[in-house]
Amino acid sequence: MFKPEYVAQHDTMLEREYFYKKDRELIDKIKEKEALKLLDQERSSHQNKCSMCGHEMEQKSMEGASFLYCSECKSLHMAVQDLDNLSLRHKLRNVVSDLLIHQNSKVKKSA
Ligand SMILES: [Zn+2]
């Protein structure tokens, strides 16, 4: 089937535009993947490193709460939930010891 020259040129332009958009989409996807990969690499390079001095941190645990400890600058990193649990245990312990002290003082007064 015969196409006039201007129609053929228009079809070619549409075809180029279509492939340009497809290529652009592929390039954007590749760039996005590379950016995520670089971000992942950067994150993993900081894993278990001290945010204050960059020294390797050691995994430690105390009373069921785990944390990272830097032997270089004595910093520690702990999840808020672990800190809350630890703090709650200490508060409960203080409440119990306060109650015991209060109870003992009552016993001494009555004796
Ligand atoms: Zn440190």
Domain check: are 110 and 62 in the same one? yes
Distance 85 CA to ligand 1 centre (A): 24
In angstroms, what is the span from residue 40 Cα to ligand 1's centroid?
A: 22
Q: Name the more confident of 29 and 106.
A: 29
Sign of CA dihedral 32, 35, 37, 43: negative
For residues 57 and 7, membership in a common domain is answered with no
Q: Domain range for residue 95?
A: 48-111
The domain tally of the chain equals 2
Determine contact, residues 57/70, Cβ cutoff 8 Å: yes
Q: State the pLDDT at residue 45.
A: 92
Question: Which positions ≥6 away from 104 have C-beta within 8 Å?
Answer: none
Distance CA 51, CA 73 (A): 10
Q: How far is the CA of 44 from the centre of ligand 1 (A)?
A: 17
Q: Are residues 9 and 43 in the same domain?
A: yes
CA dist., res. 82 & res. 87, Å (int): 8
Q: What is the pLDDT of residues 46-70, one digit of tens each?
A: 999 999 999 999 999 887 788 999 9
pTM of the predicted protein model: 0.54
Please tell me the distance from the alpha carbon of residue 43 to that of residue 7, in angstroms, as a whole number.
54
Q: How far is the CA of 53 from the centre of ligand 1 (A)?
A: 4
Q: How far is the CA of 76 from the centre of ligand 1 (A)?
A: 8
Mean pLDDT of 71-87: 89
